[in-house]
Structure 1
Amino acid sequence: MYKALRESTPVFRSPQAVVLSRLADIEMALKRTELFSSNMDAVDLGNIRPMIPLQIDPPEHAKYRRILDPLFTPREMARREPGVTELVNQMIDRFADRGECDFHEEFAVPLPCTVFLQLLGLPLEDLEQFLEWKDHIIRPEGDSGFDRRHETGAPTAQQIYDYFDRAIDDHITSPRDDVLSAMIAATIEGQPLSREELLDICFLFLIAGLDTVTDSLDCFFVYLARHPEHRRQLVEQPEILPSAIEELLRWETPVPGVARVAMQDTEVGGCPISKGERVSPLLGAANTDPAEFADPDRVDFTRNPNRHRAFGGGPHRCLGSHLARMELRVALREFHRRIPDYEIKPGTQLMYTAALRSVESLPLVFGVA
């Protein structure tokens, strides 16, 4: 589909948005925030104020990134890696002797959510509540598209604000070594973040932090289950894991596209776009564009360079990319160390979710050591 779009209508007007599928156009749309904004008109999830920093454009955007980027550096993630390794193994312990698991339900969903709760210093018993909220916002039942998102999401959004309001009070009373305490202690030009700013960052973290790693794990393990030669490569050459993850991010692109809104009348590739229209740069199409990638349809775990756009681009490039990479690396390393050989349960019909790409269920079967 990406290839067909790029070659026939690289700027395609769908009922919901103008879809961009050529790398050069996508890069331009992601970088030129004065033309294509990431503000609240681009995506409405029921939030009452912009999610920070995603829905704040430059130059304001930079001041928030200066506070948040240091909390998600590779060094910070390395410090947290032993805890994630322990967690991954605890999850594998629960099904390793059974010879089968629902990978989605038992691993891909709980892992990033538990890491998220630990990272923000929130009680692990709130996991089910968080999953419920996330699904209500990202995948509302009977979703009728962009225009009803606010009314379906608003009641849940209010519950999320209320929850984090209490969590902030708790962290002010007893600070600890976690991201929420670090945000409360941070200052911009000598001023601490306001209560509303903290809530707007937390809202984004919940939406962005829980689902995207789940999607990536699902997509990666479906691919590896179906391509035993690539799986064996990971088992026999664990040192290629970091570059294999980059290639799987490129090839699978679990977040296939992002949303922007036109700030003025403009045109892209000869197609007029009116102020206020939604625009969707397709990251998945950028990641398979031969303008950037030699032999783009071949999955090569040693591909170098690999400038994929799975984490977006421009000023709004994913804040949590180092966290996601660390979680994926630990998950793939430990799973393949302990369960090197697995397949999708015969007869399974995989059902992919719309928009963000995960599967509703992923039954894997494997030998028991």
Structure 2
Amino acid sequence: MSAERDWASLVPTFDMFDPEHEEWKYDGFAWAREHCPIIHGSPPSTGPRSIVTRYADVRQILEDPETFSSAGSPPVPAPIRLGALDADPPEHTAFRRLLNPVFTRQFALQFEPDMRAYARELIDAWVDRGEVEMLGEFASPYVARILARMVFDETDMDKMERAKQVVIRVAERPDDEGFFDLAVLSAEYLAAAIDNPPEREGMLRQLVTGEFLDGKPMTEDQAMGAIASTFLGGLDTSRSAIAAICLLIAQQPELEERVRDPRWIRNDMDEFIRLISPVASLGRIATRDTEVGGCPVKQGEHLLLRFDSANRDETKFPNADQLQFEPPRTGTAGFGLGIHRCIGMHLARVQIAVAMEEIFARVTNFKLAVPPEEITWAPGIANCPHAVPLRFDRVL
């Protein structure tokens, strides 16, 4: 940690959308976990937010939806609903009951042949060059194609490219115009599904034909929110994870052998996800005066739960800033905790596993194509590098 910084003054200014704050946030969170675990700040991009940095406190909040509500509490003020993300029970329970069947591992595995075909096609485009920008030339289009095929049954990749740009804007530079574009995009897909209900089992069919709460169908507002949150989660976080895993392998070449072992998906993948924390944070609102980790929390207080800080809490994960595979770590917050644990985590695991298997069937010996100091991370709701330029050798 940089001892020369005045963390007591600097940390309360933290703004997740300020690129300069990406440079010091992990050191700042480490200081906060020890000295001031709930940081009271009011950055211009979000307004007043109390940042929760310790693992135990994040877990306490996420496991108590009665005291800490999701309703109206996204990490940034959002003028649209975001489905299960900003719903409390019983509405949240109804969302999960309706959508869980189409986000199981078994459902995702039906699309494994498509995933492999997409991965191979993308790899074909750059494998002979000996270099690739892994985020833009593989991870982003790969994830977009899977979401298009599996969730939206979409064949027009220009529409998915438009969706990707909308999602990146909302994740990195949110404003009312960006959320409006996301709402319009979601409304288009919902309207098409209502006019022509999909015959294939999937999310859109569930939204327009399934029973939601008390035997009633979803409202259009609720269905649009489910679509919007699926775009945000499906297009942003998995691409971040794939690109960041490749970056870590380039920085620590011995990791390639572990990822080549099919058993890596049992425990090692979760450890990569813990360190990367593709989803950086979620929001909550206190419904009553209470206390978290010895700190008072007032009714109506907006809380920003930092998964990336919780996942590096040394009291839960010794040597937390490093990958540790043996013994396996348990209880990580990489896919969230509590009732809002990521509904898409099974899809994410399958598409990450397929991506890495197909990549390392064709290439080996990742190396950074730029000096390490040129690798920078985008600000925003997700933890994602701006770019991952790599060189490699072909597998003979």
- State the alpha-carbon separation in 2 of the partners of residues 161 and 3 from structure 1: 38
Distance 1:64 1:75, change over 3 A: same
Distance 1:37 1:202, change over 3 A: same
Distance 1:314 1:233, change over 3 A: closer
State which of 67, 90, 93 in structure 2 corresponds to 1:62.
93
| Matching residue's letter, 2:130 | G
| Matching residue's letter, 2:393 | G
Extract unaligned runs of 5+ from structure 2: 1-26, 44-48
- 1:340 match: secondary structure: strand
Aligned residue runs from structure 1 range 19-168, under 5 A? 19-44=51-76, 46-48=78-80, 50-119=81-150, 120-125=152-157, 126-140=159-173, 149=175, 151-168=176-193
| Matching residue's letter, 1:223 | L
2:30 corresponding residue in structure 1: 3
Give the deviation of 1:133 after TM superposition. Answer: 1.5
Aligned residue runs from structure 1 range 252-271, under 5 A? 252-271=276-295
- State the alpha-carbon separation in 1 of the partners of residues 216 and 327 from structure 2: 45
1:197 corresponding residue in structure 2: 222
- State the alpha-carbon separation in 1 of the partners of residues 340 and 141 from structure 2: 27
**Does structure 2 retain, via aligned residues, the 8 Å contact 1:42–1:261?**
no
Give the deviation of 1:170 after TM superposition. Answer: 5.0
Distance 1:222 1:268, change over 3 A: same
| Matching residue's letter, 1:82 | P
- 1:192 match: secondary structure: coil
- State the alpha-carbon separation in 2 of the partners of residues 20 and 42 from structure 1: 14
2:205 corresponding residue in structure 1: 181
**Does structure 1 retain, via aligned residues, the 8 Å contact 2:364–2:393?**
no
Is 1:210 the counterpart of 2:235 in the alignment?
A: yes
Give the deviation of 1:227 after TM superposition. Answer: 0.3
Give the deviation of 1:68 after TM superposition. Answer: 0.7
| Matching residue's letter, 2:168 | D
Deviations along 1:339-358, whole A, 9 cap, x unmatched?
A: 12111103361120113111
Aligned residue runs from structure 1 range 347-358, under 5 A? 347=371, 349-355=374-380, 356-358=382-384
Question: Relative contact order, CA 8 A, sep 6+: which one is greater?
Answer: 1
Distance 1:322 1:284, change over 3 A: same
Q: TM-score, normalised by structure 1?
A: 0.89
Count of matched residue pairs: 358
- 1:341 match: secondary structure: strand
Is 1:361 the counterpart of 2:387 in the alignment?
A: yes
Is 1:15 the counterpart of 2:48 in the alignment?
A: no
- State the alpha-carbon separation in 1 of the partners of residues 149 and 370 from structure 2: 36
Give the deviation of 1:304 after TM superposition. Answer: 2.5
2:248 corresponding residue in structure 1: 223
Distance 1:287 1:14, change over 3 A: same
| Matching residue's letter, 2:126 | F
**Does structure 2 retain, via aligned residues, the 8 Å contact 1:46–1:153?**
no
Q: TM-score, normalised by structure 2?
A: 0.84
- State the alpha-carbon separation in 1 of the partners of residues 52 and 77 from structure 2: 22
1:146 corresponding residue in structure 2: none
- State the alpha-carbon separation in 1 of the partners of residues 209 and 163 from structure 2: 25
- 2:266 match: secondary structure: helix
**Does structure 1 retain, via aligned residues, the 8 Å contact 2:166–2:178?**
no
Distance 1:45 1:11, change over 3 A: closer
Distance 1:301 1:117, change over 3 A: same
Distance 1:275 1:193, change over 3 A: same
Extract unaligned runs of 5+ from structure 1: 144-148
- State the alpha-carbon separation in 1 of the partners of residues 217 and 108 from structure 2: 24
- State the alpha-carbon separation in 2 of the partners of residues 244 and 11 from structure 1: 30
- 1:258 match: secondary structure: strand
- State the alpha-carbon separation in 1 of the partners of residues 265 and 338 from structure 2: 26
% of aligned pairs identical?
A: 26
| Matching residue's letter, 1:57 | D
2:344 corresponding residue in structure 1: 320
Distance 1:241 1:158, change over 3 A: closer
- State the alpha-carbon separation in 2 of the partners of residues 24 and 72 from structure 1: 28
